[in-house]
A and B are shown apart, each in its own frame.
Chain A
Amino acid sequence: MKPVPDSRGYFGPYGGRFVPETLMAPLAELTAAWQESRRDRAFRRELAGLLATYCGRPTPISRAARLTQHLGGAQVFLKREDLCHTGAHKINNAVGQCLLARRMGKVRVIAETGAGQHGVAVATAAALFGLRCRVYMGTEDERRQALNVYRMKLLGAEVVGVDAGARTLKDAINESLRDWVTNLATTHYVLGSVLGPHPYPVMVREFQSVIGSEALLQIRSQHRSLPNLVVACVGGGSNAAGIFSAFVPHRQVELVGVEAGGRGTRLGEHAARFAGGSPGVLHGTRSYLLQDQDGQVVPTHSVSAGLDYPAVGPEHAFWHDSRRVSYVRVEDREALDAFHLLSELEGIVPALETAHAVAYVARVAPRMGSGQAVLVNLSGRGDKDVVEVARLEGVKL
């Protein structure tokens, strides 16, 4: 079998490096530095140490007893990435890439952010390593994630609003790529998901694969067998890639990625790339893309800023086509219901992104037997969303 991805960063027909010529040299530099760091025991030891003593890993798996009882079907387990330092899985990748940036002699990091969780994670890691940090964020996302904007500033990062296009994650990535191409010598671009040109999709997946490798051992010891189903939300797809990667070889485990169904099925109303998209090229990679017939990228909508993105990581496209992972959509309303459900039954306020995965579990767990187990990647906590949910529900704070 051919290795996935191949040396050019292709997962089957997806991936690659569709970037301006100027970025090819820094991508080669990054690939070499990353490959070298993987072979370097000191680097691996330092990263593992930071994950343990700074990020709070391993994160536990909680048995969601009341949710299980409420749903009346499969047993539900939660992989608690919300307990990571900064409140989401994003820190795993941010610490890894900032460590790499320091190794490459870069003094400045930049990042895009949608929900603000990746921006906060990079600002945090930059503070830890003494790197200068700038975060690009669409102005629409700044509005709905105001708390995280201030958190980044507290951490010493500069937050730059992007007032172009849809003013969301996609536009923040455009601006980050422009900054990077202008400041190559000093700057590393800490891309936050399994997106973008090679090596980002495979590198970010590897930094996030700690989620899956922990979860595999934990569920085996706590449930005494593999789960029947693993569920994760998919924006760019980093938390999903992180947990799926360990389970992909175990064919008996069903894997489901949950996309944002937004407010409807028409183009422009959602961010369900596998339901409404087709192969295309955006941000340096070939994958499923929400586009019109002229190849222009269409606006997306989701209540969750972190899922509000028109493309998806190329490895997900590969898993989709090879049918190893199924992708489903959950609409805003269902996600908001799940946001409340988990808060009230388990005392865990999930991020709106994560609530999409919980909503899917609420849909399917009742149809499963009590001897079966579902593992959900609880990718982030929902403190950042409290104000926006209150606004959506007409609650005055």
Chain B
Amino acid sequence: MSGRIEKAFLRARKARRAAFIPYITAGDPVPARTVVLARALERAGADILELGVPFTDPIADGPTNQRAAERALAQGTSLTGVLGLVRELRFSSELPVVLFTYFNPVHAYGLARFAVDAAAAGVDGVLFTDVPVEEAGPAHEALRRVGVELVLLLAPTSTRERVKAVRKLAGSFVYFIARTGVTGARAALEEGLEEQVRLVRKLAKSRVAVGFGVSTPEQVARIARFADGVVVGSVLVDRIGELGDVPELPGEIEALARSFAVATRRR
């Protein structure tokens, strides 16, 4: 195992911060921009990058990520292409990368071959949006063999038994869905989020990153007080969609991401 994810959490903790985990969709607005955007996010203070693999039928995503996937697919982005982008990023960066993907592209690629190629490309972790722990055995086994982490999701609706089942397969962290629903910006955080995160951390015996709907620096600051990491996605993806492939795109995204990254400091 590369240990890049583990190191990122340790570094953030030492700096009295929650890890900042931005999300973008690979290939959006064009594949040629993905590595540039990843470097911009790194400069802005990203500890881990969550990189979305576009899929035609993203049932866990709201309109923002759906449209980003459509843009990326229109540009010919495939899973093979995304692995190529990660390989390219690795020439210039050690930023840990977690692929955020639906199962079918990986199923079509072949799970075992995907695991080997993902590890070789420099992928650190894989999160499947539509593979709950009951179905995760084969993926966990394939990824474990090559030293890539499986990142599992937990939700406010997860039972204690499920949290414990996740514990057996989880790597450096679990991803806690901040509210029931799809991805996308939200005005308010759920009531009781802090208690849920504390409980999950205790039962799963794992670090907890919180995402889904986190869209303002104030929300990031609040979550950073009790979570090990904060995922910020839709607000960045929305901005990428508004701007499109313009020269100022990386600069704009870096500035926006920085406003979130600074909010991860625990005061």
Contact = CB atoms under 8 A, between A and B. Distances in A.
A20 B130 contact: yes
Nearest to B54: A296
Interface stretch (B57-65, B92-100, B233-241): B57-65
Given A20-B153, A170-B57, A296 B158 contact: no
Interface stretch (A114-122, A217-225, A260-268, A286-294): A286-294
Interface stretch (B32-40, B101-109, B116-124, B203-211): B101-109
A70 interface: no
Contact of A25 (B73, B152, B159, B181): B159
Interface stretch (A35-43, A61-69, A177-185): A177-185
B225 to A, nearest CB: 24
Contacts of A282: 57, 104
Interface string A167-197: 0001100100110011010000000000000
Interface in B40-64: 55-60, 62
B188 to A, nearest CB: 14
B135 interface: yes
A296 B78 CA distance: 8
Contacts, number: 114
B78 A294 contact: yes
Interface stretch (A11-19, A90-98, A350-358): A11-19
Contact residues on B (Cβ < 8 Å of other chain), bracket: 35 or more
B70 to A, nearest CB: 8
B75 interface: no
Interface residues of A, number: 36
B219 to A, nearest CB: 18
A33 interface: no
Contact of B180 (A16, A165, A184): A184
Nearest to A284: B130
A296 B107 contact: no
A296 B56 contact: yes
B130 A293 contact: no
A26 interface: yes
B157 A24 contact: yes
Interface of B: 55-60, 62, 66, 73, 78-80, 102-109, 129-132, 134-135, 152-159, 162, 177, 180-182
Q: Which 4 A-B residue pairs are closest in the complex by CB-CB distance? A: A295-B108, A25-B157, A295-B105, A294-B78
Interface of A: 8, 16-22, 24-26, 28, 164-165, 170-171, 174, 177-178, 181-182, 184, 279-284, 286, 289, 291, 293-297
